[in-house]
Amino acid sequence: SAVISQKPSRDICQRGTSLTIQCQVDSQVTMMFWYRQQPGQSLTLIATANQGSEATYESGFVIDKFPISRPNLTFSTLTVSNMSPEDSSIYLCSVDVGLGGEKLFFGSGTQLSVL
Amino acid sequence: QKEVEQDPGPLSVPEGAIVSLNCTYSNSAFQYFMWYRQYSRKGPELLMYTYSSGNKEDGRFTAQVDKSSKYISLFIRDSQPSDSATYLCAMTFSSGSARQLTFGSGTQLTVLP
């Protein structure tokens, strides 16, 4: 298993500003994953954060909008840049302790509201 | 058509009832099937995972996979108010990674005392 601390738990932000979300894991992991969860919709993978290399972004997500840092094997940040109300969502970080995606552990999430 | 379909509910049952939560999927290559529980304002928590077809039991929870019908179920016996949460199904390939995980949109369950 893995214990993941994510902060902030929630924030209300103004349009055009940026928010950085932090994720700390209690053990070293190769990859960390960032998801977005919109009301009534399934979890959508934003990007995979690898230590020592650029993050891998999924279709529809770009580095300029969602820059990611991965300075070591236990920590990652996701920044939501130049926010608009459409960015209002829950953002989750996760790690996979299984062999191929069958054992994901998640942080408690960041509830973001953009006014 | 979505790759994974899940009835969003909401589903409301009395305490002690047997709950059945279901997902259908379209990609026959999926081999790992997971169920997550998500309490309000919390991240998803892995409940169970199964590989290929068959049943898996863990306490009051039973996961069932029917690959011929592309249908998976989670049964909760003797449901408790503490089971009130949103339940998400997820699935991926046998040689896949978390990048290939596909989630259902979740079923909201309320167990009434």
pLDDT at B112: 97
Q: What is the pLDDT of residue A91?
A: 98
Record the tokens describing residue A69, joined without a space.
């840092």
* A52 domain-assigned: yes
User: Is A49 inside a domain boundary?
Assistant: yes
Determine, for residues B102 and A42 on separate chains, whether the beta-carbon distance falls below 8 Å.
yes
Residue-wise pLDDT tens digits, B31-59: 999 999 999 989 999 999 898 888 999 99
> Could you say which residues from 41 to 70 on chain A have a Cβ atom under 8 Å away from some Cβ of chain B?
41-43, 45, 48, 56, 58
Residue A73, pLDDT score: 92
What residues make up the domain containing A88? 19-107
| Residue B6: HSE in the Cβ half-sphere, 13 Å Cα cutoff | 31
pLDDT at B87 > cutoff 80:
yes
Of residues A2 and B15, more confidently modeled: B15
Distance CA A90, CA A104 (A): 17
Q: How far, in Å, CA of B84 to CA of A69, rounded?
A: 36
CA separation for the pair B58, B49 (Å, rounded): 10
Comparing B13 with B53, the larger pLDDT belongs to B13
The CATH number of residue A37's host domain is 2.60.40.10
pLDDT on residue A109: 96
Q: Is B102 in Cβ contact with A100 (below 8 Å)?
A: no
Q: How far apart are CA B41 and CA B20, in angstroms?
A: 24
Residues of B in contact with A111 (CB under 8 A): 41
Provide the shortest C-alpha distance from residue B30 to chain A (in Å): 11
Q: In chain A, which residues have their Cβ closer than 8 Å to the Cβ of B92? A: 100-102
Instruction: Examine residue A97 and state whether it is found in any structural domain, yes or no.
Output: yes
Question: Before B44, cis peptide (omega within 30)?
Answer: no
In a domain, residue A14? The reply is no
State which residues of chain A have pLDDT below 70: none
Confidence band (pLDDT; 50, 70, 90) for B89? very high
pLDDT value of residue A100: 77
Domain total of chain A: 1
User: What pLDDT is recorded for position B5?
Assistant: 93
Maximal C-alpha separation, chain B: 43
In this complex, the residue of B8, B32, B44 whose CB is nearest that of residue A101 is B32
pLDDT in tens, A25-55: 999 998 899 999 998 788 999 999 988 888 9
Q: Of A9, A96, A106, which has the smallest distance from its Cβ to B44's Cβ?
A: A106
CA distance readout (Å), B71 to B33, B74, B102, B113:
10, 11, 14, 30
Are A42 and B88 a contacting pair at CB < 8 A?
Answer: yes
- pLDDT the model gives residue B21: 97
> Structural domains in chain B?
4-112 (2.60.40.10)
